Structure 1
Amino acid sequence: MRFNPKARLDSGQVQNRRGSGGGGGGFGFPAGGGGSGMKVGGGIGGVIVVIIIIVLTQFVGGGGGTSSLPGGAGGAASDSGPVSTGGQELAHCRTGADANQDPDCARVAVVNSIQAYWQDALPDQAGRRYAEADTVIFSDQVGTGCGGATSDVGPFYCPPDQQVYLDTTFFEDMLEGQLGGKGGDFAEAYVLAHEYGHHIQNLLGTMGRVRTQQGADSDAVRLELQADCYAGMWSKFATEVEDADGEVFISELTQEDISEALDSARAVGDDRIQQKTSGRVNPDQWTHGSAEQRMRWFETGRAKGSLQACDTFGARSL
């Protein structure tokens, strides 16, 4: 993947909170028995969403394929939202040339490209206005509108504050180290595009359709596979997405880049994670879909490039 040196970057879309402590201390991460990443509680008249947090994987520190949630069981979302830094620490990320030299600037460029894509695609295909969502880069722990989170959670999207959270050590330590993925620049881009897929679901109200949170055919799995499909949609047009001056952000995307994304999708498949952590596969505990499903839905988004093609909730077979 190569960025267009002439592209103008907006560093304000990415906050750098590494080393700040994040205010996330004191929260537990209980095993959720393979939960979907959505904590719900029963209430009068139906299900009350107590705390929502969408994570890329359910693999947490070798926990046998289970999910962890910040805030503890039944915990409410934090009243004190995240502290914005305005992206000032990344002000040196000005152009695509910077993105070709600096990993943080590359993340800014990818976030800019993803958001510029949805700025046009969401109104065109769904008649809905796109609302920007910052990406917050943190280390160790962070305070969010969903409560406190640590690096063990992996990349995630928090609906209450509409932000994507990313500890970049995830790629080397977990994706490549513990899960055996190949990694690569476009592996990171896939992860970010997947999390912004959850932002699209939030804007469209799709998260409200999740009722079943576990199992191969569950709503939770459908939600995750749809986010993979949305990531594929962006990748289809990634070399065409332009900045405000009409310059494309990404000038070159190779088949090797796409292979990196597919390898990452495979690495975070429920069946692969279960096999690596417990030595057995149990579809009844799936929350994100199999390796084959995650790759296939990414490819579906890439081939079709439409929200309609990514309707996993209407699909008879996943």
Structure 2
Amino acid sequence: MSFNDDARLDSNRVKDSRGHRGAKIAAGGGGILVVLLAAIFGINPDMLAQLGLGGETPSEQTATGAPGIAECKTGADANARQDCRILATTQSLDSFWLSYLPKYNVKVAKPGVEIFSGRVDTACGPATSAVGPFYCPGDRVAYFDTAFFADLQNNYGSDGGALAEEYVVAHEYGHHIQNTIGTLAASQQGGTGANSGSVRVELQADCFAGMWAAYAAQTKDANGNTFMKPLTESDLRSALSAASAVGDDRIQKAATGRVSPEGWTHGSAAQREAWFLQGYKTGDINKCDTLSSRNLNKPGA
């Protein structure tokens, strides 16, 4: 989903800590705490290790003299650079959610957003890039390492389109919305498995991402310019390819050669696609009630 070239970006909206590394993390330490406490988009680091992924190589943006987030000024920059795209997507999400939730008498504050490389310290504990993008409810911040997007395409099978990346940002923002309305806590209920609280929370965040996609072309910057162009069929395929690529069944199959639903924490590829589409087609937060759904394979059933 492309941004309008004249959309104005506020680089102060996102913190850029690339090149500033936190303390070294021992195996089984704070990084695992993040996995347990935060509602994480990424996959179990143990699975990533088996696939040879999730390393700590800094992204190319961390090199000396490389451009930083302060240089992200317009929608044209967002179309050209991943870090600017995170910033622009965040501002579009702000525009949507801060106008949508008050209709239900819900006050929502903007989440923090931080771009890092390698490792980062959070209120949920230190984390490495191995955990993928994640939201920490302790500090209400969504964390992104742009290196993940290369993994998403090269190793998980996403098609690499812009909306695939924007979906990731919208999903993590969705966890902040859950934290605001009180559904995020369900991720700690029911352990793991196809009907666990964790799976239900993740699928709801996918549905929320779809809601944003439905309204994204209507979101506006501070000057009244629309952030994004209307979504195309190609854009939609990109988002669905990302949602499908990180389904528990696909990751398990790639890592171990078999699928074990009892270990699921995020939902299957088909479920993640279905709930994103549920949000996109309905644009209604009431239709994203995964916590009460009797059949997670059929949204709305």
Which moved further from structure 2: 163-172 or 208-217? 208-217
Match of 2:140 in 1: 162
1:262 aligned residue: 240
Write out per-residue CA displacement over residues 257-311 of structure 1, whole angstroms, 9 at most, x where no aligned residue. 1111100111100111111110001111111000000000000000011110000
Name the SS of the counterpart of 1:264 in structure 2. Answer: helix
Match of 1:55 in 2: 40
- Deviation sequence 1:180-224 (CA, Å, 0-9, x none): 222221111000000000000001111223411201011110000
The TM-score normalised by the length of structure 2 is 0.87
1:296 aligns with 2:295: no
From 182, 188, 196, the counterpart of 2:173 = 196
Structure 1 Cα separation of the partners of residues 28 and 152 of structure 2: 20
- Decide whether the 8 Å contact of 1:38 with 1:213 is kept in 2: no
Tell me what 1:225 maps to: 203
Q: CA RMSD in A?
A: 2.3
2:258 is matched with 280
Aligned pair count reads: 280
Q: Distance in 2 between matches of 1:185 and 1:152?
A: 22
CA separation in 1, counterparts of 2:119 and 2:34?
Answer: 18
| Compared CA separation, residues 229 and 24, structure 1 to 2 (3 A) | farther
**For the residues of structure 2 that align with 1:135 and 1:37, how far apart are their CA atoms?**
16
The correspondence for 1:307, drawn from 278, 285, 300, is 285
How many angstroms apart in 2 are the aligned matches of 1:161 and 1:128? Answer: 20
Give matches, 1:126-145, under 5 Å.
126-145=104-123
Cα contact 1:224–1:288 (8 A) shared by 2: yes
User: Which amino acid is 1:57 matched to?
Assistant: G
Letter in 2 for 1:179: Y
Q: CA deviation at 1:244?
A: 2.2
Answer yes or no: is 1:4 the counterpart of 2:4.
yes
- 1:264–1:165 distance in 2 versus 1, CA, 3 Å: same
Match runs of 1:44-83 below 5 Å: 52-60=37-45, 62-63=48-49
Contact 1:54 / 1:156 at 8 angstroms: preserved in 2?
yes
- What residue in structure 1 maps to residue 27 of structure 2? 28
Q: 1:146 aligns with which of 121, 124, 143?
A: 124
Q: Deviation of residue 64 (structure 1)?
A: 6.0
Indicate which of 157, 162, 170 corresponds to 1:185.
162
Q: Calculate the TM-score normalised by the size of structure 1.
A: 0.82
Aligned amino acid, residue 132 of structure 2 = G
Could you tell me how far 1:37 is from its partner in structure 2?
6.7
Cα deviation, residue 63, structure 1: 4.7
What percent of counterpart residues are identical?
A: 46
Q: Which moved more, 1:93-102 or 1:159-168?
A: 93-102
CA distance in 1, matches of 2:94, 2:137: 16
Gap regions ≥5 residues in structure 1: 40-51, 69-87
Query: Shift in Å at residue 107 of structure 1?
Result: 1.9
SS at match of 1:147: coil
Q: Give the structure with the larger helix fraction.
A: 2
**2:170/2:212 contact within 8 Å kept:** yes
Structure 2 counterpart of 1:181, one-letter code: S
Indicate the residue corresponding to 1:77 in structure 2. none
Cα distance change on mapping 1:287 and 1:59 into 2, 3 Å: same
Residue in structure 2 matched with residue 13 of structure 1 by the alignment: 13
CA distance in 2, matches of 1:213, 1:38: 13
Measured after TM superposition, the shift of residue 133 of structure 1 is: 1.2
Aligned to 1:96: 75
Could you tell me how far 1:135 is from its partner in structure 2?
1.5
Query: 1:89 deviation in Å?
Result: 4.5
Alpha-carbon shift at residue 177 of structure 1 (Å): 2.6
